[in-house]
Amino acid sequence: MIEMHRRNSLLLLLISIFYFTQIIFNIVIEGIESIFPPAIFFGIFGLIMILLILKKVNAKFTMYVMVGSMYIYFYYLLNDSPYLVNYLFMWLALPLSAIYQQIKAVLMSGIASIILTFYSFFYLHDEIFPNVIKEDFIYLVLFGIFITIFHITFILKIRAANDKLQDLAYHDPLTGAANRLLLKEKFDVMKYENVDSIALLFLDMNGFKNVNDTYGHEVGDQLLQIIVLRIDGVLRDTDLLCRLGGDEFIVLTSNIDQSIVEKIADRIQSALEKPMILDQHIINVSASIGWHYTTEVLNANLDEMIKEADRAMYKEKELKDLPGSTIN
């Protein structure tokens, strides 16, 4: 959602640059009086867009309003100044819409471009297409369909590449759990959305070094993968499991009270205490879990919450004096 708000701001900037480029052409062709009344419509739409962005109105709604406003503006522009150059400028709205990397936005833009092409060809034909026979209209439509499909294909390719890059950038390559970068981003999103509460659980596996020392790091890596699967199995879809490194993990959750945090810790502990079978050996593990909880979301600091949860974890480890992993 934050990224889409950024794209809304970027599109508004590009539209403004595009608009002032376009009016320079019109001034050269017709003089300064040619930019009115379309300039009035642009000013109105521009103010609406600025308000939507500043007020952080639903990002998708703002996206559709921005795309729709571009074509409403072009409709009035083509009626007021029916020139081929303005018709060609209209087609630039399609790649501008592709900035969102949203197929619906591109489809909306492609359909609107074809509709305006139909309107321009049959109702403004003598002004814009004086030397084009009406039988050639089908080629303009095919061009519109082709360019729309091209942008959709491009978006799908970009999405696939971005997914791979994000997976590498945001996830631990061994276990698939989130890494610290994604933890920070998720934490910032929670603060941005102003959730009611944020809780952070710090997990440290007890005696994990015994496994590595006895069977080697390959078995230790397999054990970490199973641990992540078991923890994920007791979390909500909105919770985030992050591997800090080694055998240390963080669980980030929100919109819960302190009693629920304790229940989450108990569920994780119960899931981990079930015996794990690796390389024909039964391995029993447990974790020391500390947590920190706050309802002061806007003032919350990720590093401070990690430190507090870490301290709570060590207190639990000292109190219970856990023996760690056992191997059979």
Residue pair 148/92 in contact by the 8 Å Cβ criterion? no
By three-state DSSP, how is residue 238 classified?
Answer: coil
Measured in residues, the chain has a length of 328
Residue pair 290/202 in contact by the 8 Å Cβ criterion? yes
Tell me whether residue 247 is one of the annotated catalytic residues.
yes
Catalytic residue from among 172, 204, 239, 247? 247
Q: Which of 157, 160, 86 is nearest to 116 (CA)?
A: 86
Longest Cα separation, the chain? 89
Q: How far is CA 252 from the centre of its chain?
A: 18
Q: Which amino acid is at 308?
A: E
Long-range contacts of residues 300-303, Cβ cutoff 8 Å, at least 24 apart: 300/187, 300/191, 300/198, 302/183, 302/184, 302/187, 302/200
Catalytic residues: 247
